[in-house]
Amino acid sequence: MREINYRTAVREAMVEEMMRDERVCLMGEEVGHYQGAYKVTEGMLEKFGERRVVDTPIAEFGFAGVGIGAAMVGLRPIVEFMTWNFSAVAFDQILNNAAKLYQMSGGQYRVPVVFRGPNGAARQVAAQHSHSMDPFYVNIPGLHVCAPSTPRDAKGLLKTAIRDDNPVIFLEGETLYAVKGEVPDEGVEELIPFGQARIAQEGTDVTLVAWGRPYHTAMQAAESLAKEGISCEVIDPRTLRPLDHRTVVESVKKTNRCVIVHEHWEHGGTGAQLVDLVQREAFDYLDAPVLRVHNQDVSMPYAVNLENTVLPTVERVVDAVKKTLYVAS
């Protein structure tokens, strides 16, 4: 297998699907002439032309609506948000149109649209541009939510998302775009199904669950803990809705302990949902309360030292794991 970065993997998925299906098109701010704010869509305008790669005005509510409308009448649009922070402007389109029209039209209109872009904190973009938007979207029935952490998962899940007949929220990461990893060779097609977690590393003492950027934090923590003789099983759920909690529950039955690492705030979201499912379905297997490591409950500060305090760190994950093992940190 070859190694490519996350950015290229996302682009390959879009290019392959646009070549395979002429109904697939791309729209968003700076996706065309500027080659993408994060160069994810580099070269796509040249390859597919202005009919299929459309630069939009800075008007998220408007172009999200255009994407939904186009999906309703037969296209399979990919709508890029420059970052997921700006999707807040288009929230009503996603909540009340994308997620509802199939039901509200009595099954007459499907909405096969993919909303994608970078999610979570980048570096020092402050309170309004550092949101992890996943808790807002995982709460909505009618949507799928993907949060791949590796290039391979990004490519395989995006291809599945584009072919899915339902609206998909596809959460990438500005600091993930440069992450490299193995991806099947060109010409080898891999579609990764929704609702299937990946066991990134097997272990015996504690189950670590993480997705997106914090997945890499969790992996580093697992590596550091391994040196102390603590064996972590690391699970990446990959899609947050549907959420493959069975894999997590089965793992906890083996390890008896669970720590969940996520970038969104504490109150609500996939982290809290997993705690609920684990305590319900693995109650008799828990040797310690399920712990979470997450963003501190404050708006993101600009200063880098404070930002590092707010985001989950390797040290905090290590501390939480030791707490579930009742060993001194």
Partner 1 sequence: MAKIIGLPKLSPTMDEGTIVKWVKKEGDAIDVDDLLAEVETDKATMEFRSFDKGVLLKILAEEGSALLPDAPVMIIGQKGDDISALIANAGAKPAAKAEAAPAQASAKSKANVAPESESESESESKSESESESESESESESDSAPAAKTAPKSAPAVGAAAQTRSDGRPLASPYVRKVARERGVELANMQGTGPHGRIIKRDLDGLAAPRGKKRSAASKETKVQKLSSMRRTIARRLTESKQTVPHFYLTIDIDADPIWHAREQINRALEVEGEKISVNDLIIKACALSLLKMPEVNASFAGDAIEYHGRVDISVAVAIPDGLVTPVVRDADEKDVREISREVRSLAGRAKEKKLKPEEMSNGTFSISNLGMFDIENFSAVINPPEGAILAVGTVREEPVVKNGLVVPGRRMRMTMSCDHRVVDGATGAKWLQLLRRYLEEPVTMFI
The catalytic residues are 60, 129
Using CB under 8 A as the binding rule, whether residue 210 contacts partner 1 is answered as no
Q: Give the footprint of partner 1 on residues 271-310 (CB under 8 A).
A: 275, 280-294, 296, 309
Pull the structure tokens for residue 172: 């990438």
Report the residue number, 50 or 228, with the smaller CB distance to partner 1. Answer: 228
Among 23, 39, 180, 254, binds partner 1 (CB under 8 A): 254
Among 30, 42, 164, 266, binds partner 1 (CB under 8 A): 266
Q: Give the footprint of partner 1 on residues 49-108 (CB under 8 A).
A: none
Encode burial over 103-123: b for 16+ CB neighbours within 10 A, e otherwise.
Answer: eeeeeebbbbbbbbbbbbbbe
Q: Give the footprint of partner 1 on residues 189-208 (CB under 8 A).
A: 204-205
Rounded to an integer, what distance in angstroms lies between the CA atom of residue 208 and that of residue 34?
A: 39
Q: Are 295 and 265 in contact (CB under 8 A)?
A: yes
# residues contacting partner 1 (CB under 8 A): 41
Among 220, 231, 301, 306, binds partner 1 (CB under 8 A): 231
Pull the structure tokens for residue 208: 């670590």
Of the candidate spans 59-67, 148-156, 215-223, 248-256, the one that interacts with partner 1 by CB under 8 A turns out to be 248-256
Give DSSP secondary structure letters for 65-80.
Answer: HHHHHHHHTT-EEEEE
Q: Are 85 and 48 in contact (CB under 8 A)?
A: no
> What value does the CA radius of gyration of the chain take, rounded to a whole number of Å?
20
Report the residue number, 35 or 231, with the smaller CB distance to partner 1. Answer: 231
Of the candidate spans 102-110, 153-161, 178-186, 252-260, the one that interacts with partner 1 by CB under 8 A turns out to be 252-260
Rounded to an integer, what distance in angstroms lies between the CA atom of residue 218 and that of residue 210?
A: 7
Rounded to an integer, what distance in angstroms lies between the CA atom of residue 68 and that of residue 313?
A: 38
Rounded to an integer, what distance in angstroms lies between the CA atom of residue 212 and that of residue 170?
A: 11
Rounded to an integer, what distance in angstroms lies between the CA atom of residue 36 and that of residue 118?
A: 12
Of the candidate spans 108-116, 173-181, 193-201, 224-232, the one that interacts with partner 1 by CB under 8 A turns out to be 224-232
For residue 214, the minimal CB distance to partner 1 (Å) is 13
Report the residue number, 101 or 291, with the smaller CB distance to partner 1. Answer: 291
Pull the structure tokens for residue 265: 């705030």
Q: Give the footprint of partner 1 on residues 310-329 (CB under 8 A).
A: 313, 316, 319-320, 322-323, 325-329
Give DSSP secondary structure letters for 2-16.
Answer: EEEEHHHHHHHHHHH
For residue 242, the minimal CB distance to partner 1 (Å) is 17
Report the residue number, 55 or 281, with the smaller CB distance to partner 1. Answer: 281
Which residues would be at the binding site for partner 1 (CB under 8 A)? 204-205, 228-231, 249, 253-254, 256, 259, 266, 275, 280-294, 296, 309, 313, 316, 319-320, 322-323, 325-329
